[in-house]
Amino acid sequence: MNTSELLATAGRAFAVYALLLVVIRVLGKREVGNFTAFDLLVALMLGEVVDEIIYGDVEFAQGAVAIGAIALIQYATSWLSYMNHFADKLLDGVPTILVRDGALQQDGMRKERMNEHELMGLLREQEIEDLREIKLAVLEVGGALSVIKHSWAESIQKADLGGPEKDARQKAVGGQEEPPEAFDTCSPKALA
């Protein structure tokens, strides 16, 4: 096996990675489930390469080069996503609002190709039966549904009743009832 064959194998690995990434991004978040698009892509590609090596369809050196190329691409794209917010949005996508203040957001549901029955099933998994309780429901980039309830719909906590639990909560939150904004692009206010 010569160097040009090994470089061609690495080139094919890059090309397959790019093709599968585009396909996964087009399919949307729900098709990926709890994997990120990159996790799924790498798992698919590595599984196929390992299969080819195991069954002798490619030589071990070719398979090793392909695995190395896939690992290099994964490492580079994860750093690119980390360093550049635009690249992160382009590669991973952005959260999609499905419910706001108890009202279904048809644009978000259309974007994710999710009908009302599917959404209600996801909400029931979180023990929510009434849309009016929801301040914000967001389909996250990994495919999970996050729900923020209106304050009146939240479950009562021991700290709400007073006593030492209330004092402990006051000490923990420093008298500030609203949580601090961790990431401006992921906060409910930024999604509003």
Strands 103-104, 134-139: parallel, antiparallel or unpaired by DSSP? unpaired
* Per-residue pLDDT at 113: 92
Burial of 35 by CB count in 10 Å (0-12 exposed, 13-18 middle, 19+ buried)? middle
* Per-residue pLDDT at 118: 94
DSSP-derived letter for residue 63 is H
* Per-residue pLDDT at 181: 60
pTM for the full model? Answer: 0.62
Q: Which residue carries 């991004």 as its tokens? A: 25
